[in-house]
Amino acid sequence: MKILTATQTHQLDEATIQQQHITSLALMERAAQALLRWFEARFHADKPADTLVLCGPGNNGGDGLALARLLHEAGYPVRVVLLPADKYAPDYEHNLHLLPKVLSVRKLAAKSLPILDADTLVIDALFGTGLSRPLSGLAADLVCHLNDSGVRVLAVDVPSGLLANAPQPDPKAPVVQATYTVSFGLPKLAFLLPQNARYVGEWHVEDIQLSAKFIAEAATPWHFTALAPSPDVQLPQRRQFAYKNVYGHALLLAGSRGKVGAAVLASGACLRGGVGLLTVAVPGCGYDIIQTTRPEAMCLPDAEADFISVLPELTSYQAVGIGPGLGQHEASRAVLEQLLRTAQVPLVLDADALNLLGEHRELLDLLPPDTVLTPHVGEFARLTEKVDDDYRRLQLLRDFTQKHKCIVVLKGAYTAVGAPNGQVYFNSTGNPGMATGGSGDVLTGLVLALRADQRLDALTATRLAVLAHGHAGDLAAAHTGQAGLVAGDLVRHIGPALQALMR
């Protein structure tokens, strides 16, 4: 699913109107109907005692007016407050005239900000994608009043004051802190960034049949990898007569004294990820552990007891993963360097392999094309630079993957997969329960399994692994709850998660 800019979103509206031979007013009515559908599904069981619709002067306000009418017709108690302006959008004017006369409609004045009771539900239809400058004056006062009141807010399209796809030009200007945001057609980039979570709240996208042709042709680096209604990336069925070579033989280098658990988790995920064969290279102290916990895997113990010091001979493998629990011993750094210099097969680098790269950045020039790196934000900062702004971090991600021709999985909520051509794919699955030790090791094992799979290209394999990892987390959390989720639960749910991604 593509993510478009505010400008492209306006063009998309125009294209929809032209291609479908409808008026802009009819498209606004569709948007309002979609909002009503969401509203009824969410609130039918606990109807708000009071719904206050705040309308700005543009089409976002027009959506609000149309929704106020529909809510009134559906029997909800509704009040409307209008933000005064020099000029109003034509469809706003039209919907204002369509409001039933019995509805309470008043123009906002500085001295009479609306009274907000705890059980009021506010609909924020002040500004949408047409926001052209930070909020000021009466609009800013109203938004501060709203945020201070602590009432529930449903933002129409975007929380007012928030730009859809760019950082806030004035960090001091207020932005609506919505409880819910209901948007149209496609998600907005702003929804996916941690720095905006407190404004966006729980977000949803409602279909309003926007032009599929325009969306297909639109150029954008941003994508959202959805699981439903059908997965954006799919795993081919296993063939009845396929040999295990099709699924590849993977080599995993992982573990050091006290961190052999990382090797256990990553190897479990690799096996559950459908790899044909798995060999795990561990320090001597990990031999019995791997042989006992993962009898399906072969094990190569290192001569050193506590860390990995020798790169195994590589000719039998279709993919190699390195990093979980590896430690940062100089001998292990040398193994990493030798791997980067000699490997002829896909590589997956995680955890301490990334920390070693960060410490020895000259090694970045050795990365073979399509190598997959799986840093969290801290590890990514060590590879690039520390930044506070999420938009800036996304730019660094695109620069890094294009410069090094690699794939970076930037882990977090909405994990971003950056491709060598600069495209970025945000993941839709997963939950906060996955912020727990070992979760990343599981992802590494799963990426490794799918990189060894001879049927998949590098980007598809990586996106599939990220989608399945998050889905496994969602399936697991349904049993354990988020707090009770541990990384081993993810491994156990990889099978069903991959099954849901089957073509």
CB of 487 within 8 A of CB of 441? Answer: yes
**In whole angstroms, how close is the CB of 188 to ligand LP7C6HRI at the nearest point?**
10
CA–CA separation, 245 and 318 (whole Å)? 9
Q: Which is nearer to ligand LP7C6HRI, 49 or 110 (CB)?
A: 110
The answer for 162, left when phi > 0, alpha when psi is -120 to 50, beta otherwise, is beta
Give kind and range of the element (H or E) at residue 407.
strand 407-410
CA–CA distances in Å: residue 64 to residues 54, 125, 330, 430: 7, 5, 62, 32
Q: Which is nearer to ligand LP7C6HRI, 183 or 332 (CB)?
A: 183
Q: Quick check: 29 binds ligand LP7C6HRI (CB under 6 A)?
A: no
Structure-block tokens of residue 118: 């705890």
**In whole angstroms, how close is the CB of 414 to K ion at the nearest point?**
21
CA–CA distances in Å: residue 87 to residues 14, 91, 99, 139: 21, 12, 19, 15
Q: Which is nearer to ligand LP7C6HRI, 127 or 426 (CB)?
A: 127
Please choose which of ligand LP7C6HRI, K ion, none residue 383 contacts, taking the beta carbon within 5 to 8 angstroms, the exact cut-off set by kind. Answer: none
Whose CA is closest to 452, among 236, 277, 282, 262? Answer: 277
* Interface positions, 122-141, toward K ion (CB under 5 A): 124
Please choose which of ligand LP7C6HRI, K ion, none residue 131 contacts, taking the beta carbon within 5 to 8 angstroms, the exact cut-off set by kind. Answer: ligand LP7C6HRI
Helix axes 330-342, 351-359, angle to 10 degrees: 90
Q: Quick check: 6 binds K ion (CB under 5 A)?
A: no
Q: Which is nearer to K ion, 160 or 279 (CB)?
A: 160
Helix axes 260-272, 439-452, angle to 10 degrees: 40
CB of 183 within 8 A of CB of 94? Answer: no
**Residue given tokens 């209901």 in the structure block:** 182
Does 248 show up as a binding residue in the annotation?
no
Binding pattern to ligand LP7C6HRI, positions 147-186, x when CB under 6 A?
---------xx--------------------------xx-
Local structure of 412: helix, strand or coil:
coil
Binding pattern to ligand LP7C6HRI, positions 183-222, x when CB under 6 A?
-xx------------------------x------------
Q: Which is nearer to ligand LP7C6HRI, 136 or 245 (CB)?
A: 136
Q: Quick check: 468 binds K ion (CB under 5 A)?
A: no
Does 440 show up as a binding residue in the annotation?
yes
Structure-block tokens of residue 404: 């090094």
CA–CA separation, 405 and 388 (whole Å)? 25
CA–CA separation, 206 and 33 (whole Å)? 10
Structure-block tokens of residue 59: 């089409």
CA–CA separation, 108 and 53 (whole Å)? 12
Q: Which is nearer to ligand LP7C6HRI, 17 or 387 (CB)?
A: 17
Does 133 show up as a binding residue in the annotation?
yes
Q: Which is nearer to ligand LP7C6HRI, 62 or 323 (CB)?
A: 62
CA–CA separation, 189 and 261 (whole Å)? 36
Among 3, 4, 13, 424, binds ligand LP7C6HRI (CB under 6 A): 13
Q: Quick check: 156 binds K ion (CB under 5 A)?
A: yes
Choose one: 61-69, 287-295, 310-318, 342-350; the region binding ligand LP7C6HRI (CB under 6 A).
61-69
The total of other beta-carbon atoms located within 10 Å of residue 101's CB is 5
Q: Quick check: 129 binds ligand LP7C6HRI (CB under 6 A)?
A: yes
Tell me, by CB under 5 A, how many residues bind K ion.
4
β-sheet bridge partners, residue 442:
none
**In whole angstroms, how close is the CB of 391 to ligand LP7C6HRI at the nearest point?**
19
Q: Quick check: 130 binds ligand LP7C6HRI (CB under 6 A)?
A: yes
**Residue given tokens 């969290």 in the structure block:** 376
Peptide bond before 229: cis, by omega within 30 degrees of 0? yes
CA–CA separation, 12 and 166 (whole Å)? 19
**In whole angstroms, how close is the CB of 141 to ligand LP7C6HRI at the nearest point?**
12
Binding residues for AMP are 411-415, 440
Q: Where is the binding site, in residues?
A: 59-63, 124, 128-134, 157, 160, 262, 325, 376, 411-415, 440-441
Site residues (CB under 6 A) for ligand LP7C6HRI?
A: 9, 13, 27-28, 31, 56-63, 89, 127-135, 139, 156-157, 184-185, 210
Judged by the rule CB under 5 A, the positions of this chain that interact with K ion are 124, 155-156, 160
